[in-house]
Amino acid sequence: MQLVLTVNGMTHEVEARPTARLLDVLRDQLGLTGTKEGCAEGECGACTVIVGGKAVNSCVMLAVQARGKEILTVEGLAKEGELDLLQQKFVEYGAVQCGYCTPGMLMSAKALLMGNAVPSEQDIRIALAGNLCRCTGYSAIVAAVKAASGREAAPLMELPGDAEELAAEVTTDPDTLAAACEVVEAETEDAPAGLCEPGALPGLVDPYDQSQSGIPGETEGGE
């Protein structure tokens, strides 16, 4: 049968059997493999998605039951590359180990926060009761959800840095660099001229600069 599903704000037309599970349509037909399968009987919560504002186990829901409702999966949490606050807190609080339960945990927690902006610890634990985790003992997950609802403790984890920014922070002062270049030039026969100007080394040409010849991959006009 033809099904129209709205997933993460996007409308999809899929061909599915009436008995198709929502989980299979999401994973196999829409390629949204962030939603996991752990038990196929609605016990472990790894397949949790939000349908019409409620957290559901997509392994025990038919795709057809989700027609006409907003379906939110883990892939829909981040917006334009920016993590959702809840995702950010899962990172900061070390709530992720193997990560297989994480998408389901996030969706159960998201559904909780959508209905209760300031849940108590007990509310959080009960909302996550149907999401099993074998790695964390839940402490860090509960702390992350609490933090996402504004009760911030100090973040536990040092966040992954942006490698380019980290590298760019360290520079050599120009005099030292010039002296080092002289050492290399003195030692090396055929040292390229202008060794010490970044970007002037052979092979480090700007590939987008059309005025240069011998551009890697160029198939015409070469010598």
Partner 1 sequence: MIQDLQYVGGSYPVHDVAQKVTGELVYGSDFSVPGMLHAKLILSTIPHGIVTRIDAASAEALPGVVKVFSHENAPMDGFSRARIHPGQDMSFYDETLFSKHVRFVGDRVAAVVATSRATAEAAAALVEVEYEELPAVLTVDQALADGAPAIHEGGNLLYEHEIEKGERPDLAGAVLVTTTASTPRVHHAALEPHVCIAQGHSTGGMTVWTTSQGVYAARTVIAELLGLEYHRVRVMKVPMGGSFGGKTEYIIEPVCAFLAHATRRPVKLLLDREECMIATMVRPATTTTIRTACTLDGELLDFEAATTLDSGGFAASTPDYSVHMCKKVTKLYRVPHYQHQGRAVYTNTPVGGAARGWGAPEMTAATEIHMDRVAAALRLDPVEFRLKNMVEPQDTDLVTGLPLGEARVRECLERGAVAFDWVARRARPAGRGRIRRGVGVAAGAHKNGMFGAFPEASRMGLKMNEDGTFELHASLHEVGCGIVTTMKVIVGEVLGLHPDLIAAGEADTATTPFDYGTYGSRVTYVVGECARVVAERVKERLLAAASDLLQEPVERLVVRDGAVRVRADGERSIAYRDIARLTEMRAVPNIAASTTYYAVSNPAAYSVQFAEVEVDTATGLTAVTDFLAVADVGRAINRGMVEAQYQGGVQMGIGYALYEHLDVDGRGRAGIDGFKNYHIANAPEMPPVRVELIEAGEELGPFGAKSVGEIATVPTAGAVVNAVNNALGTELSDLPLTPEKILAALHREEVPCSSC
Least distance from partner 1 to the Cβ atom of residue 26, Å: 10
Task: Find the largest Cα–Cα distance for the chain.
Answer: 77
- Of the listed pieces 63-71, 110-118, 157-165, 215-223, which binds partner 1 according to CB under 8 A? 157-165
Q: What separation in angstroms does the CA of 55 have from each of 20, 21, 102?
A: 19, 15, 14
Complex with partner 1: residue 3 or 93, whichever CB lies closer: 93
Among 169, 209, 220, 223, binds partner 1 (CB under 8 A): 169
Report yes or no: 35 and 26 within 8 Å, Cβ to Cβ. Answer: yes
Residue 55: helix, strand or coil by DSSP?
strand
Tell me which of 11, 18, 117, 171 binds partner 1, using CB under 8 A: 171
Would you say 48 and 108 are in contact if contact means Cβ atoms under 8 Å apart? yes
Residue 120 interacting with partner 1 (CB under 8 A) = no
- In whole angstroms, the minimum distance from the beta carbon of 133 to partner 1 comes to 7
- Taking CB under 8 A as the binding criterion, the range among 50-58, 112-120, 169-177, 207-215 that sits at the site for partner 1 is 169-177
**Residue 205 touches partner 1, criterion: CB under 8 A:** no
Asked if 21 is part of the footprint of partner 1 (rule: CB under 8 A), the reply reads no
Contact region with partner 1 (CB under 8 A), list: 64-72, 110-118, 191-199, 214-222: 191-199
Residue 100 touching partner 1 (CB under 8 A): yes
Q: Which residues contact 61 (CB under 8 A, 6 or more apart)?
A: 21, 22, 23, 51
- Residue from 1, 4, 10, 78 binding partner 1 (CB under 8 A): 78
Kindly state the smallest distance separating residue 177's Cβ from partner 1, in Å.
Answer: 6
**Sign of the C-alpha dihedral computed for residues 6, 8, 9 and 11 taken in this order:** negative
Name residue 132's amino acid: L
The single-letter DSSP state of residue 78 is: S
Here the tokens at position 106 are 């996030």
Residues 50-69 that bind partner 1 (CB under 8 A): none
Helix (H) or strand (E) holding 11: strand 10-15
